[in-house]
Amino acid sequence: MIVWAGLPGTGVVGLIALLAAAASPSATLRLDYFHTGDAKEERFALDAVVREGPWPGPADRRIDTTNLGRYRFEVRDARRGDLLYSRGFASVYGEWETTPEARERPRGFHESVRFPEPPAAVTVAIQKRDARGVFQPAWSVKLDPSDPAVDRRRPAAAKVWAVMQNGEPADKVDLLLLGDGYTAAEMDKWHRDARRLADTLFAVSPFREHRSDFNVWAADTPSAESGVSRPSDGVYRRTALGAAYDAFGSERYVLDLDNRRLRETAAAAPYEFIEIVVNERKYGGGGIHNLYATVAADNAFTPYVFVHEFGHHFAGLADEYYTSPVAYEAGAAARPEPWEPNATADPGAARWRDLVAAGTQLPTPWAKEEFEAAQRDIQARRRKIREEKRPEAEMEALFREERERMTALLGSGPYAGKVGAFEGALYEAKGYYRPQSDCIMFTRDEVGFCAVCRRAIEKIIALYAR
C-alpha cells in the first residue's frame, strides 16, 4: 500500500484507502539548489536531492505547453536525451533581481524544482528568458535516482487533513494550505480559516465551475508565537514556516524565504500548489508562479488578496495595476511582450484577439485620466495611514471608498465589461495593455477575473485535472 509520508494517523477520512486504491505512481524527486547573484550575473549550485512521497500529478501531462514563467526546467533522459518532464516557473530570485538592492550587493536564495522520479539518470536543465523573451540555458546538473546521496528520509511529521477531497491526487489539482503564526492553542482558528479561504476561492469563476477538479489539503503547523514578523512595525516572531511582511522593502508583501523548511513541511502532503495563510490582520500577501501564494487571514480584504495572489501563483497572471507602489523598478524603455497571459505590449491585442468583439476600438478608450487622478489622491492617503501607523480599520475604510469609486468609474463607458486593449498594466502607465477595463488583477473591485484571465486559469486546470 502506498501512503504519503506524514499522513497515517491524521484522521483524514478515506485518505489512506484513496491512496491504496490508486495505481502505484512514481515517487517525487525534489532538486534543491542555491540561486545567487546580483543585477549583472547569477549562479546556481546543487544543494540536495530529496525523495518525497508518490507523485501527485497526472501521468499523461508531464510536458508543459503553456509557455509561462520567467524560468523553465526540463528533465531529460541522460543517455537518450528524451524529454521526460518540464514546467515553467518564477522565483523569489527572479523578483529580487529587479529591485534596487540587486544593483548594490549580491544575495542568495534557496529554491527547489519537483518532478516524477525517473527510472534512470537524468539531466535537469534550468532555462531563463532573455531580453526578447526566449528561453536560454542557465544551469544544468546530472542526477541519478539510485545515488545513495539522495535523501530518502521520511519528512517531518505533520497532521494533514482534507479540506475538500474530490478524488485521487493524480486526477485532481492538489492545493495545499499551510498556516503560519498559529499557535497550538489556535489550531481551531486555523481550521476555520482554511475552510473559509477554500470557500472564498471556489466562489469565484472559473474556480467555482471547476470545484470538483480540485482537492484541497491542509497541514497543521503550530508556531511558538501567534502572528508573523512585520519588520516595518518593529514586530518579530518565531513561526513554523518563517513567513514575514516587508519582502524587498514593501510593507504589504508577504513571502517565505526559508524554502527548505517550507518544502520539508509540504512534503507530508500531495500538492502541486501552495497557499500560505498568515495569522494576521494587516493587509498583505504575495504570489509567485508555480512557487506559492500568501495571504493575511483576517483583513477585511482577505478574499480579494487571496484570489488575486493565487492568480499569480496558479496561472502566472500579471499585475494589471500601475498606480500602487511596488518593490520592483520600472521596466526598460523597450516593451518586450510579457510572458504573462493577461498583459501585452501590442495595442492590437493579437494574443487575445479572438475574444475581442467586432467594432471594439483598439487600443480601447477608457477613463484613464480620471482614474489616475483619483488614484493619486487614494495613494497619498494610503501612504499617510501607513506612515502614521494608524489602525488597520482606517486602511480598510479607505479601500472600501476606493472600491466604490473605481467600480462606478470602470463600470461605465462604451467598452465596460468588454475585451479590448486598455493601456496601463504591469506597473506601467504606458506601453502595456490589459484585456478589460476592470479585473481582480487590476483593482480590489468585486468584478472577478476578466475573460482572458479566466481562460488562462482553465488552461492550467486542464494541465493537472483529469
pLDDT in tens, 402-458: 999 999 999 999 999 999 999 999 999 999 999 999 999 999 999 999 999 999 999
Q: What is the mean pLDDT of residues 146-170?
A: 95
Do residues 109 and 196 share a domain?
no
Residue 182 shares a structural domain with residue 289: yes
pLDDT of residue 50: 98
The sign of the dihedral angle between the CA atoms of 359, 360, 361, 362 is negative
310 with 425, same domain? Answer: no
The cell numbers describing 93, all together, are 530570485
Query: How many Cα atoms occupy the beta-carbon half-sphere of 405 within 13 Å?
Result: 15
Considering the domain boundaries, does residue 333 fall inside one?
no
| Residue 339 located in a structural domain | no
Q: Kindly state the cell numbers that stand for 112.
A: 527547489
Q: Does some domain include residue 5?
A: no
Grid cell in block for residue 56: 501527485
- Residue 300 sits in the same domain as residue 358: no
* 302 and 389 both lie in a single domain: no
> pLDDT at residue 330 above 80?
no
Could you tell me if 212 and 108 lie in one domain? no
The reply to whether 186 and 276 lie within a common domain is yes
Domain boundary among 143, 175, 192: 143
pLDDT at 6: 44
- Residue 171 domain flag: yes
Query: Does residue 330 lie in a domain region?
Result: no
Range of the domain at 431: 350-457
C-alpha cell at 281: 490582520
pLDDT digits (tens, 9 = 90+) for 217-234: 999 999 999 999 999 999
- Residue 338 resides in a domain: no
Co-location of 191 and 87 in the same domain = no
If asked whether residues 34 and 81 sit together in one domain, one would say yes
Rounded to 5 degrees, what are φ and ψ at 457? -65, -45
Q: Is residue 13 part of a domain?
A: no
Q: In sequence order, what DSSP letters do the residues of 299-358 get, joined into one string? A: STTHHHHHHHHHHHHHH-PPP---SS--SSPP--SS-PPPSSTT-BS-TT-GGGGGGSPT
Please, where are the H alpha helices in 51-124?
Answer: 92-96, 101-104
Pairing label, strands 71-77, 83-89: antiparallel
DSSP β-bridge partners for residue 35: 44, 109
CA dist., res. 154 & res. 91, Å (int): 26
Q: Which of the four pLDDT bands, split at 50, 70 and 90, describes residue 155?
A: confident
For residue range 267-316, list pLDDT tens digits in order. Answer: 999 999 999 999 999 999 999 999 999 999 999 999 999 999 999 999 99
- The pLDDT-based confidence of 2 (bands split at 50, 70, 90) is very low
CATH number at residue 40: 2.60.40.3250
Average pLDDT over residues 59-75: 97
For 138, phi then psi, to 5°, come to: -120, -35
Same domain, yes or no, for 131 and 221?
A: no
**To which residue does cell 484585456 refer?**
435
- The enclosing domain of 211 has a CATH number of 3.40.390.10
Q: How many helices (H) and strands (E) does the chain have?
A: 9, 15
- The answer to whether 168 and 214 have CB atoms below 8 angstroms apart is no
pLDDT confidence tier of residue 158, bands split at 50, 70 and 90: confident
Q: What's the structural domain count of the chain? A: 3
Whether the upstream peptide bond of residue 206 has omega within 30° of 0, thus cis, is yes
Q: What is the mean pLDDT of residues 324-336?
A: 64
- What pLDDT was estimated at residue 327? 57
Q: Tell me the per-residue pLDDT of 17-31, one tens digit each, with 9 for 90 and over.
A: 334 334 456 999 999
For 203-213, write each residue's pLDDT tens digit: 999 999 999 99
Residue 1 in domain: no
Shared-domain flag, residues 171 and 138: no
pLDDT at 107: 97
Domain boundary among 143, 176, 208: 143
pLDDT value of residue 282: 98
- Residue after which a domain boundary falls, among 112, 143, 174: 143
Residue 183 and residue 311 in one domain: yes
